[in-house]
């Protein structure tokens, strides 16, 4: 009895005793058709994957363009509200070039940016709607490079930028919608090809052996699985880029907002607390401007790594943009966890960085806001933490501070102070200069005076410099304020010269911002020319910390001042990074011993030793030594015994308005003559 074939192997329409038919022609044609379908499907999928890969930089550029409008707007606003600096001008020029290249690349392609150009009709229509706004932004921004923009033009730029961002949001959405549409079309085509292939395989099953059918099906499933995996990887990559910062790899602002919202909900269910830590890197802008964006980017990456090492497992750290980070601290019912993370973060970020062969010091200021103590809304907690961070900066930086309701009032008070100070500078009848005499210890003769600004507010009365000078430095108002002080001091000096006081030297303080401003020497030259004061009768005082920020740049500026004939004095000497190296390299005339070393003289042996060392060091380098903050006769006698050249302080005279200063000088001359 012959073996009967299994039921699954039987071929319909044929006797089970007959061997399977091998129709070579139809077999080859069927396999060929299946192969063609697979090739077509593979080519279409490959093309779609290539199109998706090509659209990634397009979507990135379309998403980055709104951020560039913020950068352009910030630069133009800064130029409209304060003096234009080379750094702001260079930053604006770079932003304009990047903005223009990126936008034009979207329309016409740019190989360097991996932009293919040739957008779809709908995208091209949307870009056409954005063209006038683009042209207007570019026109206003480039005009700002040629001449100082007005606040009106800055406001117009902000309106144009806002409208442009809305247009670009539509462009980015259309790119994503077209990509999704192509994916759906490809899926339908694949389904059609798969269906046709399956029907063909069913027909071929009547002629082919089951092993061949199973093998073909297995290969087809592998191809589909591979394509599905590739599409899933692309989708995951797009989702990652939408939620994580490309530079640091940390969650971005969008994901941070979601994580904070979830943390608040969990804390609400468990009656626990959730804390927000708002982190800002101190002096990061200086690094970015002076050493370049590549060094700045690496510094941000290093800082992100250090912050990540300070948090606990359930906490979240995010990069909000620029030099700002944030942390969500969960799982506590008091401030201890947030305080511990803040302390560790401040300590970690204060450690020096070694980047591009340079040793960089960048600390951090941190503000902390807590749910439910300070509020229950995510955005409100972030704002409160930012206020606390600003308060930490005001108290000296490299620290953290918890939010208190008083900070909101302080912010309102600070805004009012800034507005009032701007008004006082624009109409300087509220400002005046007081003068503190300098006494030559060897002869008892008055040799000069230091000009100190005072603000007489019409409602608040006399506002001392320690209240408004830090605000002026932070907002950039210190530059026009310094310029006014310089001009007014030289004008007063001219009047005193006309009255016969021709043996005095006038000292004027220059802030760090003004010193590093490219127009400092020109401003000094202009003030001297307008007042007809000899350069030798003007002394520019610069703090030690200002000079040490960039010794080479400082040397060039001081050389120009010395060639002009102006004397140069280092203020607050001994409080920064005192070094024989920079003292030898910089053209300096005077060292001023900081008042912190004078206060405890002559009783404190350490201060006495430091003061004596500074006097000897200065005289060795042929520098004049001035002691500031002298408040007792014992201090004056001790400094005279050390050989200190000049003294200044309340024991000699407090800062005086111009009329009282003249009276003091005359009385001092009469006393010496008598």
Backbone angles phi, psi at 318, to 5 degrees: -135, 155
What pLDDT, on the 0 to 100 scale, is given for residue 361?
A: 84
Note whether residue 19 is domain-resident.
Answer: no
Note whether residue 9 is domain-resident.
Answer: no
- Note whether 398 and 460 are same-domain residues: no
Burial of 187 (0-12, 13-18, 19+ CB in 10 A): middle
Q: How many CB atoms lie within 10 A of CB 616?
A: 13
Helix, strand or coil, per DSSP, at residue 81: helix
- Note whether 237 and 378 are same-domain residues: no
Which of the two residues, 173 and 630, has the higher pLDDT score? Answer: 630
- Note whether 382 and 468 are same-domain residues: no
- Note whether 313 and 449 are same-domain residues: no
Q: How many CB atoms lie within 10 A of CB 648?
A: 23
Distance CA 301, CA 296 (A): 9
Among 426-430, 462-466, 481-485, 493-497, the minimum mean pLDDT is found in 426-430
Percentage of the residues of the chain whose pLDDT score is greater than 70 = 86
CB 80 within 8 A of CB 154: yes
Task: Provide the residue range defining the domain that includes 375.
Answer: 253-403
CB 126 within 8 A of CB 178: no
Note whether residue 272 is domain-resident.
Answer: yes
Q: Which helix (H) or strand (E) holds 644?
A: none
Distance CA 384, CA 374 (A): 8
pLDDT tens per residue, range 391-430 = 888 787 888 988 887 776 666 777 788 888 888 888 768 8
Distance CA 674, CA 670 (A): 6
- Note whether 371 and 427 are same-domain residues: no
Distance CA 24, CA 664 (A): 122
Nearest to 349 by CA among 320, 314, 310, 295: 310
Percentages helix, strand, coil for the chain, rounded to the nearest 5?
65, 15, 20
The secondary structure of 95-123 as a DSSP string is HHHHHHHHHHHHHH-BTTTTB-----HHH
Given 208, 225, 243, the domain boundary residue is 243
Does 586 score more than 50 pLDDT?
yes
CB 325 within 8 A of CB 362: no
- Note whether 230 and 275 are same-domain residues: no
Backbone angles phi, psi at 655, to 5 degrees: -55, 135
Residue 224: CATH number of its domain: 1.20.120.1730
CB 654 within 8 A of CB 674: no
pLDDT tens per residue, range 65-82 = 777 777 777 877 877 777
Among 325-334, 480-489, 528-537, 581-590, the minimum mean pLDDT is found in 581-590
Distance CA 50, CA 28 (A): 32
Does 105 score more than 90 pLDDT?
no
- Note whether 564 and 599 are same-domain residues: yes
Residue 493: CATH number of its domain: 3.20.20.450
Which two three-digit tokens encode residue 448?
Answer: 């000069």
Note whether residue 537 is domain-resident.
Answer: yes
Burial of 97 (0-12, 13-18, 19+ CB in 10 A): exposed
Sheet holding 273-281, edge to edge: 316-321, 324-332, 273-281, 364-371, 399-402
Q: Which residue has the tokens 């001297």?
A: 528
What pLDDT, on the 0 to 100 scale, is given for residue 333?
A: 75
- Note whether 430 and 566 are same-domain residues: yes
- Note whether 483 and 370 are same-domain residues: no
Q: State the chain's mean pLDDT as an integer.
A: 81
Note whether residue 133 is domain-resident.
Answer: yes
Percentage of the residues of the chain whose pLDDT score is greater than 90 = 22
Total residue length of the chain: 674
Does 175 score more than 80 pLDDT?
no
Note whether residue 409 is domain-resident.
Answer: no
CB 21 within 8 A of CB 14: yes
Which two three-digit tokens encode residue 578?
Answer: 């005192």
Q: How many CB atoms lie within 10 A of CB 90?
A: 12
CB 328 within 8 A of CB 312: no
Residue 269: CATH number of its domain: 3.30.70.270
Given 220, 243, 266, the domain boundary residue is 243
- Note whether 67 and 94 are same-domain residues: yes
Note whether residue 620 is domain-resident.
Answer: yes
The pTM of this model reads 0.50
Q: How far is CA 348 from the centre of its chain?
A: 19
Show Cβ contacts of residue 381 under 8 Å, excluding neighbours closer than 6 positions: 260, 264, 276, 369, 370, 371, 374, 375
Give CA angle at 507 (582, 636), nearest 5°. 85
Among 364-368, 457-461, 483-487, 649-653, the minimum mean pLDDT is found in 457-461
The angle, 0 to 180 degrees and rounded to 10, between the axes of the packed helices 151-205 and 121-146 is 150
Nearest to 326 by CA among 285, 370, 280: 280
Q: How far is CA 177 from the centre of its chain?
A: 34
**317-333 mean pLDDT:** 88
**If DSSP states are collapsed to H, E and C, what string results for 487-520?**
HHHHHHHHHHHHCCCCCCEEEEECCHHHHCCCCH
What pLDDT, on the 0 to 100 scale, is given for residue 12?
A: 43
Q: How far is CA 445 from the centre of its chain?
A: 50
**302-321 mean pLDDT:** 90
pLDDT tens per residue, range 8-53 = 444 444 444 444 444 445 556 666 776 777 777 777 767 766 666 6
- Note whether 223 and 338 are same-domain residues: no
Q: Which residue has the tokens 């002559």?
A: 602
Given 184, 217, 243, the domain boundary residue is 243
What pLDDT, on the 0 to 100 scale, is given for residue 458?
A: 84
What pLDDT, on the 0 to 100 scale, is given for residue 276?
A: 93
What pLDDT, on the 0 to 100 scale, is given for residue 128?
A: 72
Q: Which residue has the tokens 């000497």?
A: 573
- CA diameter of the chain: 151
Note whether residue 248 is domain-resident.
Answer: no
Does 461 score more than 90 pLDDT?
no
Structural domain total, the chain: 3
Which of the two residues, 418 and 58, has the higher pLDDT score? Answer: 418
Q: How many CB atoms lie within 10 A of CB 438?
A: 26
Distance CA 318, CA 250 (A): 5
**100-125 mean pLDDT:** 74
- Note whether 421 and 390 are same-domain residues: no
Residue 345: HSE in the Cβ half-sphere, 13 Å Cα cutoff: 32
Q: Which residue has the tokens 């004008």?
A: 491
Q: Which residue has the tokens 């309340």?
A: 650
What pLDDT, on the 0 to 100 scale, is given for residue 404?
A: 83
Where does the pLDDT of residue 201 fall: very low under 50, low under 70, confident under 90, or very high at 90 and above?
Answer: low
Q: What is the C-alpha radius of gyration for the chain, rounded to an integer number of angstroms?
A: 37
């Amino acid at each position: 009895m012959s073996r009967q074939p299994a039921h699954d192997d039987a071929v319909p329409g044929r006797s089970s005793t007959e061997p399977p038919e091998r129709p070579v022609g139809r077999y080859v044609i069927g396999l060929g058709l299946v192969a063609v379908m697979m090739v077509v499907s593979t080519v279409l999928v490959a093309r779609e994957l290539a199109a998706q890969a090509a659209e990634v930089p397009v979507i990135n550029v379309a998403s980055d363009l709104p951020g560039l409008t913020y950068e352009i707007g910030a630069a133009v606003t800064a130029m409209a509200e304060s003096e234009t600096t080379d750094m702001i001008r260079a930053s604006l020029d770079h932003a304009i070039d990047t903005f223009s290249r990126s936008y034009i690349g979207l329309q016409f392609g740019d190989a360097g940016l991996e932009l293919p150009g040739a957008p779809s009709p709908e995208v091209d229509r949307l870009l056409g709607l954005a063209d006038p706004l683009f042209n207007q932004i570019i026109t206003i921004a480039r005009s700002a490079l040629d001449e100082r923009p007005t606040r009106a033009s800055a406001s117009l730029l902000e309106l144009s930028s806002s409208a442009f961002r809305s247009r670009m949001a539509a462009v980015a959405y259309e790119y994503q919608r077209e990509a999704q549409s192509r994916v759906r079309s490809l899926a339908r085509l694949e389904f059609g090809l798969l269906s046709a292939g399956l029907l063909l395989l069913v027909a071929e099953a009547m002629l082919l052996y089951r092993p061949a059918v199973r093998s073909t099906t297995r290969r087809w499933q592998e191809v589909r699985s591979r394509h599905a995996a590739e599409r899933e990887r692309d989708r995951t990559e797009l989702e990652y880029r939408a939620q994580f910062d490309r530079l640091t790899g940390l969650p971005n602002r969008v994901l941070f907002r979601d994580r904070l919202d979830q943390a608040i909900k969990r804390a609400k269910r468990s009656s626990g607390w959730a804390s927000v830590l708002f982190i800002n890197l101190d002096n990061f802008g200086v690094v970015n401007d002076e050493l370049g964006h590549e060094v700045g980017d690496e510094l941000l990456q290093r800082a992100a790594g250090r912050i990540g090492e300070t948090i606990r497992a359930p906490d979240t750290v995010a990069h909000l943009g620029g030099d700002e980070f944030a942390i969500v601290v969960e799982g506590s019912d008091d401030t201890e966890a947030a305080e511990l993370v803040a302390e560790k973060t401040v300590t970690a970020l204060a450690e020096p960085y070694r980047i591009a062969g340079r040793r960089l010091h960048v600390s951090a200021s941190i503000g902390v806001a807590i749910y439910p103590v300070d509020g229950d809304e995510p955005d409100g907690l972030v704002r409160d933490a930012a206020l606390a961070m600003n308060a930490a900066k005001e108290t000296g930086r490299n620290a953290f501070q918890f939010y208190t309701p008083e900070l909101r009032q302080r912010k309102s008070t600070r805004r009012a102070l800034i507005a009032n100070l701007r008004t006082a500078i624009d109409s300087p009848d509220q400002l005046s200069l007081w003068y503190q005499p300098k006494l030559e210890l060897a002869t008892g003769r008055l040799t000069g005076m230091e000009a100190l600004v005072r603000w007489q507010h019409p409602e608040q009365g006399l506002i001392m410099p320690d209240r408004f000078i830090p605000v002026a430095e932070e907002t950039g108002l210190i530059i026009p304020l310094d310029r006014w002080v310089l001009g007014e001091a030289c004008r007063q000096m001219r009047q005193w010269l006309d009255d016969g006081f021709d043996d005095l030297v006038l000292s004027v303080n220059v802030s760090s911002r003004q010193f590093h401003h490219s127009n400092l020497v020109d401003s000094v030259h202009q003030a001297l020319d307008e007042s007809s004061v000899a350069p030798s009768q003007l002394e520019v005082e610069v703090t030690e910390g200002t000079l040490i920020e960039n010794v080479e740049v400082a040397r060039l500026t001081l050389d120009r001042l010395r060639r002009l004939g102006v004397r140069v004095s280092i203020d607050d000497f001994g409080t920064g990074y005192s070094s024989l190296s920079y003292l030898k390299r910089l053209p300096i005339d005077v060292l001023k011993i900081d008042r912190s070393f004078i206060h405890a003289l002559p009783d404190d042996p350490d201060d006495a030793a430091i003061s004596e060392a500074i006097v000897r060091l200065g005289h060795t380098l042929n520098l004049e030594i001035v002691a500031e903050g002298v408040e007792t006769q014992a201090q004056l006698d001790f400094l005279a015994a050390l050989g200190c050249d000049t003294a200044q302080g309340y024991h000699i005279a407090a800062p005086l308005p111009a009329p009282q200063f003249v009276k003091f000088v005359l009385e001092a001359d009469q006393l010496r003559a008598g």
